[in-house]
């Protein structure tokens, strides 16, 4: 059974800084590291998919986005956490690209590239309805961090609470 989680970045893994444009601004959300560690220790593969329209809006370059991702990945590695991969949509919301969530192109790319299929242990975790719609369209279970949701009944306060729910998936199948 495929065990994996696709995570949103801003507001889920790291603080949402309204167009974060330098690696020094990276601050992990409370309990995010603990949640990632719990998932990894229970055999889950970890991926990031994030809309980053700041590139199209001119707030940061694609190269800067890559540097931020490398720094975040390194910071996680120093905590013993391995992200399998991160994927970003750099397009403006008005562009009709297939990679901007809730569209599913980046999610389908992950499933294909890593030989994964939706299963009782395939999840998306995010802080917006757009994140949840993305995951549900891929056939994944959705967990929202934050306030109530129209798309899922599973709403938690932080990534650790999400991880505690996720790791029980194979006991329910």
Catalytic residues: 8, 10
**CA distance linking residue 129 with residue 6, whole number of Å:** 14
In a 10 Å sphere around its CB, with 0-12 CB exposed, 13-18 middle and 19+ buried, how is residue 116 labelled?
A: buried
Structure tokens belonging to residue 107: 């999610």
Q: Would strands 45-51 and 4-7 be described as parallel, antiparallel, or unpaired?
A: parallel
Distances in Å between the Cα of 125 and the Cα atoms of 50, 67, 78, 146, 147 are: 11, 23, 23, 11, 13
**With contact defined as beta carbons under 8 Å apart, do 2 and 122 qualify?**
yes
């Amino acid at each position: 059974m495929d065990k994996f989680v696709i995570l949103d970045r801003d507001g889920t893994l790291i603080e949402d800084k309204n167009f974060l444009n330098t690696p020094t601004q990276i601050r992990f959300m409370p309990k995010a590291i603990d949640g990632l560690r719990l998932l990894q220790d229970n055999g889950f593969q970890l991926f990031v998919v994030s809309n980053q329209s700041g590139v199209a809006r001119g707030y940061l370059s694609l190269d800067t986005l890559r540097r931020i991702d490398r720094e975040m990945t390194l910071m996680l590695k120093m905590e013993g956490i391995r992200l399998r991969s991160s994927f970003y949509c750099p397009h403006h919301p008005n562009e009709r690209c297939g990679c901007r969530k809730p569209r599913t192109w980046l999610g389908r790319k992950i499933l294909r590239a890593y030989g994964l299929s939706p299963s009782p242990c395939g999840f998306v975790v995010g802080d917006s309805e757009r994140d949840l719609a993305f995951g549900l369209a891929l056939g994944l279970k959705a967990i929202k961090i934050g306030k109530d949701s129209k798309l899922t009944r599973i709403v938690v306060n932080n990534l650790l609470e999400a991880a505690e729910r996720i790791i029980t998936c194979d006991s329910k199948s």
